[in-house]
A = this chain, B = another copy of it.
Amino acid sequence: MKQLNSAFLTRLNRHVTLDSAERDAMHRLEGTAEPRSKRDPVFAADRPDDRIAILRSGWAASRVRSAGDQTTITQIYMAGDLIGLSDLGFRLPQHETTMQTDGTVNLLSRAELCDLGQSHPRLFAMLLSQSSLDATAMNDRLHAITRFSAEDRLMHFLLSIKSKTEQTTEQTSDRFPLPFSQKEIGDALGLTDIYVNRLLRGLQKAGQLVLSRPYIRITDRAAWEERLNFKDRYACLDVNWAC
In the bound assembly, the distance between CA atoms of A25 and B129 in angstroms comes to: 23
Across-interface contacts of A67 in B (CB, < 8 A): 229
Contact call B72/A133, Cβ cutoff below 8 A: no
In the bound assembly, the distance between CA atoms of A169 and B242 in angstroms comes to: 34
A33 within 8 A of B: no
In the bound assembly, the distance between CA atoms of A94 and B124 in angstroms comes to: 21
Known: A110-B243, A117-B121, A142-B72. A238 touches B91 (CB 8 A): yes
13 examples of A-B residue contacts, CB within 8 angstroms: A66-B229, A72-B142, A75-B139, A85-B128, A85-B132, A86-B136, A89-B128, A90-B132, A90-B238, A134-B135, A138-B138, A142-B142, A142-B145
A101 within 8 A of B: no
A193 within 8 A of B: no
A95 within 8 A of B: yes
Who on chain B is nearest to A118 by CB? Answer: B121
Known: A64-B143, A72-B146, A229-B66. A90 touches B236 (CB 8 A): yes
Q: How many residues of A contact B (CB 8 A)?
A: 59
A87 within 8 A of B: yes
One complex includes copies of this chain to the number of: 2
A147 partner, pick from B66, B86, B91, B131, beta carbons under 8 A: B66
A29 within 8 A of B: no
Contact call A243/B111, Cβ cutoff below 8 A: yes
Contact call B94/A136, Cβ cutoff below 8 A: yes
Mark contacts of A129-160 with chain B using CB atoms, 8 A cut-off: 1 yes-contact digit, 0 otherwise: 11111111011111101110000000000000
Who on chain B is nearest to A135 by CB? Answer: B86
A70 within 8 A of B: yes
Contact call A145/B190, Cβ cutoff below 8 A: yes
A139 partner, pick from B62, B229, B243, beta carbons under 8 A: B62
A66 partner, pick from B124, B135, B143, beta carbons under 8 A: B143
Across-interface contacts of A66 in B (CB, < 8 A): 143, 147, 228-229
Who on chain B is nearest to A110 by CB? Answer: B241
Across-interface contacts of A115 in B (CB, < 8 A): 243
Across-interface contacts of A241 in B (CB, < 8 A): 50, 88, 110
